[in-house]
Each structure stands twice: as C-alpha cells, then as structure tokens.
Structure 1
C-alpha cells in the first residue's frame, strides 16, 4: 500500500491495485471561515495541483459531509462518473451534486480483491457528537496487502477499540489533530493517539488531520513529543508532512 497525505484528512491511497481518493477537500488556503478566530481555513495550501491529485483515481470515499472532508471545490472538480462510496443517509445529497455512481456502505463491499468494511466512529462525545453527526471508520483487506484500518473523524471510544481488536490491522490511520468544538474533543489528540498505539502494539499508526484547521490544537511536534515520552518510536507512529507518501508492505 502507498498512502499519500495531501492535507488534513484528504488522502490518496494505492491499495490492492486500485487508487482511492479519500475525503477530498480542495479549497484554497483561507477560503473558509475560522472556527476559533486564529486563522481562516484551510490554514495551509494543497501540496499538489488538483489535476495531479485526481490523476489515476478510480474510487472516491467520502466519510461524511463536513467541508473539510468534501467541500464545494471538490464537488466541482471530482469527475461525476467516478464511483463514490459514502455512509448511509448521505447518498441523496451527493447525488444532488451531480454524482452518478454513489454507493452507501452499510457494512461490507467487495471491489475486485479488496474487501471494504465499515466500522463505528464517534465525532466527539455527548451532545457534541450529536451535533457533529454520523461518521464512519473503514478497513481495507486484500491478498498481499497489509490490513488497513482508517479511523475517520473519531475519538477513541469502546466500539472503535472493539472493532480494531477484531480487525487486527497492520496499519491504522488516525485523525490526531486534537480538534475541539465547544471545548470538547471531537477527534483524537496526542494522548488518545498514544493510547491507541499501546492498545495495538503490532500495528503501525499513520497520523493525519494535523495543522490544517484552526480548531486542531495538536501539532506534529506535540504528537511526536508525546510519542517519544510514551515510548512509541518513529517506526510505529508515522507523522507524514503534507504531500508525503508512506509505503508499507504486508507482514
């Protein structure tokens, strides 16, 4: 597998002979409102032109409809005929934007040799999670590939830990920016990311969703320092820069 972090949660994944684009947010730097007054969002530019990002993409995955996961620019730029996978209840909205091949993923989906499985995720806790709305995690399995578990916009909570324990992934992609909403954590921060690494000692973690939105309070430097203090080395926790590709082979 080859995973390229483009910006925030936008990923390009080469897996099982297929090229996926995950949570496309193509907005220009500073084009959306601030959440905290620190800066307009996104706070950083895309590391590649949109045309280069879309080159070779065969399947699009949209975890949920927040703008930093599927924005207006992406809705315009992504070819409407590309197969697009979303969570139940959001297909109609995506179809209304002109997309013609939309599949809500309720549980499992087979794409050639690849098995995709939807898993629970929770975008915060309590009333804030209700405000954020439904999100999803996803696992990828294919012969000759490492099993990949993508947590999505989720905090660490018991159903996620249970799903990871059942899946036993080789690679876990986390959203680790410590975003806050009404002073409530809505994705993992450094402490939760390290806790997940300890709970899955055989997995390599790849941390994303960092340093692109003004309500994300955990930096790459913060996360690396917490990992070092917690005995999690740089091989076990990868923290790619925007535009960087991580390649991992099956064990």
Structure 2
C-alpha cells in the first residue's frame, strides 16, 4: 500500500454509478424506505442514514455523500460462483435494482467474491468509481483485460491500515488555512473467511476463497489537507465475512475507551460447498454473532448478510434468539431490505 492515499469526494458532481446510465436516467435519491428506524432508546437530530439493499449491500448517506458497501444486485434465481465446486442461488430480491441507483460517491468492498461484487455489477459499474478494498481485490479490478475495462480508482488497505477520505466543501464556504472539512476515515480490520488450521493454510496456498477485510468507518472532520487532524463524530464497525477468530480480539484493544456506535455484522452461517453438503461454515451463525457483540460491545448492532443465498443455513431467528436470551434486545435494530436506519453524527 502506498504510504499516503488521498481521495476527495465532490457531492456536487452527480455522475452515474454505472457506465451505461444516461444522465437523465439517474434517480436523484434512493427510493422511500419501507420503514424508517432509529436508535432503540435515543432519537432526535438524526443527520445520517443507512439503507439496507440486501445481502451485505448497504448505502450510507451523510454530509451529501453516498457510500455503498459490497454491491450485489442479483435477483432470486440468479447464481453466483464462490470457488471450486461451490455455487449458490440467490433466494431474495434486492430492495432496488442496480440501474435504479442514484449517484454513488465511493464503494467499500470487503472482498472479491461474487455474492459481494457480482458479475453484473462488475460489468456495469463506472470504471472511475472510487473503490476501497483489499490488495487481492485491487489486483483483480485493476488488471481486467480489454480496452477501458480496468477500474482506475481503486485503493487497497491491509489490516489495520487507514486512509482519510475528505468531502469537498461547497464553493460558497470560506477558505482559510485551518478550515475543517467533513471526512471519512476507513481502517481495515481483520477477518477470516476460512477457519484457522489445516483448512486455512490450504486455502492460503490455493486461493480458493479470497481474503477478506472488516472495516472501521469513522465519520467526522479534519483540517483540509491534514489527515492527522481527523476527529471522529460516529464510528461504525463492519465485520465483513468472517468467523469468530482470535484476530478479532485486537479490535476492542485498539479502540479501548472509544465508542463503537454501530456494528454491521455479517451472519448467515454460510456453509459450503452446498446446502445439501454442509461441510465448512465460512461466515458467522447466530451464536458467533452474539459472541462478536459481546467482544466489540457496540452501542447498536444491525445484522446483515443473513438469508439471501441458499447456502446461508443459520437464519436470522438464530441471532434474534441468542440476543434475547442474552438480554440484549435493546442493543439491536433489525432491518428488512428497503428499510432505513437514521442516526446522528456529532459535529467535530
């Protein structure tokens, strides 16, 4: 990774998310939410939102910026290839279609897997759309064969490395040497899609299942041109496709004394090679999800990635039951596809 990576987002530039959009066809906003939800015990002054599309695809809106995670817009009946001998069928529909997206400023991609970055998305996305991802995913996205096929604005982050993404101020805002601008700080977190041991070592050798990142996404501000001045007003941990492994224990150590305001946990108990031959679980089930809640201790948890594909064998009810039995019902918000969670980012 380059020691300094700089990305400036300009919300006033409303480019289409896909390269086959016409300007006239770009919707100005996301569709109205089926249901709007807020913090279970505290509400008021919400200035940001998270729209759940389906699978691990969410769209965060704040300070005029739209950030999309793990874009997957396949429909029920569509198939994905997830490794040698592993395919899966989608059993749900996304809350909106890929070509119904409004302007997207940046994509946060946890790993290069078709249920997180499907073939239609890969073919359709605008080539200069900024993508923050793993070194493995970057190597694929930037080396695509064919004229104008490679993605040109891809940023890689290794575990526990960060980059600050600034938001270009409106033209009428005064300029001075210490002007603070809205900013997002993205830090790669550890994740293991394959359990440690012989299977993990073997997978590292043959690369059957790609490496994955979790993320800490912080919303705040910094002095323009000074990443070191970043101050956080809201902190989100996104687990990515991981199991409950020892490496995750470093996350609360690194953020000791700092609040994790929101956790998006990838669940589903995804088990390969198929629902009929469930030999290896590669994402958290309900029990492991509860373990992660207890480890990270977020203020609020939202489960995602739990029932969209036929190899997800741990239904959301497993997590609901575990959270209820642990007395943590007031620490979780459940979103259906098309729901919106509104929250408040402190001014910094």
Same fold, judged at TM 0.5 (above): yes
Query: Which residue, out of 243, 246, 249, partners 2:341?
Result: 246
SS in 2 for 1:147: strand
Partner of 2:288: 192
Query: 1:32-53 deviations in whole A, cap 9, x for unaligned?
Result: 1699xxx96211111212233x
Moved more, 15-24 or 74-83: 15-24
Determine whether 1:213 maps to 2:309. Answer: yes
Residues 136 and 16 (structure 1), Cα distance of their counterparts in 2 relative to 1, 3 Å cut: farther
Query: Which residue, out of 61, 75, 78, partners 1:14?
Result: 61
Query: 1:146-178 deviations in whole A, cap 9, x for unaligned?
Result: 201111001122221211342341111110111
Contact 1:220 1:239 in 2 (8 A): no
What is the rounded CA distance, in whole Å, between the counterparts of 1:244 and 1:209 in structure 2? 14
What is the rounded CA distance, in whole Å, between the counterparts of 1:165 and 1:18 in structure 2? 30
What is the rounded CA distance, in whole Å, between the counterparts of 1:132 and 1:239 in structure 2? 29
Q: TM-score, normalised by structure 2?
A: 0.65
Question: How many equivalent pairs are there?
Answer: 246
Contact 2:287 2:318 in 1 (8 A): no
What is the rounded CA distance, in whole Å, between the counterparts of 2:214 and 2:62 in structure 1? 17
Partner of 2:162: 108
Determine whether 1:176 maps to 2:228. Answer: no
Query: Which residue, out of 136, 153, 156, partners 1:89?
Result: 136
Query: Which residue, out of 213, 216, 221, partners 1:139?
Result: 216
Partner of 1:121: 191
Determine whether 1:51 maps to 2:146. Answer: no
Give unpaired runs (5+ residues) of structure 2.
Answer: 1-47, 167-182, 221-231, 273-277
Residues 40 and 179 (structure 1), Cα distance of their counterparts in 2 relative to 1, 3 Å cut: closer
What is the rounded CA distance, in whole Å, between the counterparts of 1:40 and 1:90 in structure 2? 21
Contact 2:192 2:211 in 1 (8 A): yes
Residues 157 and 84 (structure 1), Cα distance of their counterparts in 2 relative to 1, 3 Å cut: same
Determine whether 1:64 maps to 2:111. Answer: yes
The Cα of 1:4 is off from its aligned counterpart by 1.6
SS in 1 for 2:289: helix
SS in 1 for 2:164: strand
Matches within 5 A, 1:131-170: 131-143=208-220, 145-167=233-255, 168=258, 169-170=260-261
Matches within 5 A, 1:220-235: 220-233=316-329, 235=330
Contact 2:162 2:185 in 1 (8 A): yes
Q: TM-score, normalised by structure 1?
A: 0.89
What is the rounded CA distance, in whole Å, between the counterparts of 1:65 and 1:158 in structure 2? 23
Query: 1:162-207 deviations in whole A, cap 9, x for unaligned?
Result: 1134234111111011111252321111111112222334521111
| Bigger Rg, structure 1 or 2 | 2
Give unpaired runs (5+ residues) of structure 1.
Answer: none
The Cα of 1:5 is off from its aligned counterpart by 1.6
Query: Which residue, out of 299, 304, 315, partners 1:203?
Result: 299
Contact 2:110 2:134 in 1 (8 A): yes
Contact 1:30 1:40 in 2 (8 A): no
What is the rounded CA distance, in whole Å, between the counterparts of 1:87 and 1:33 in structure 2? 20
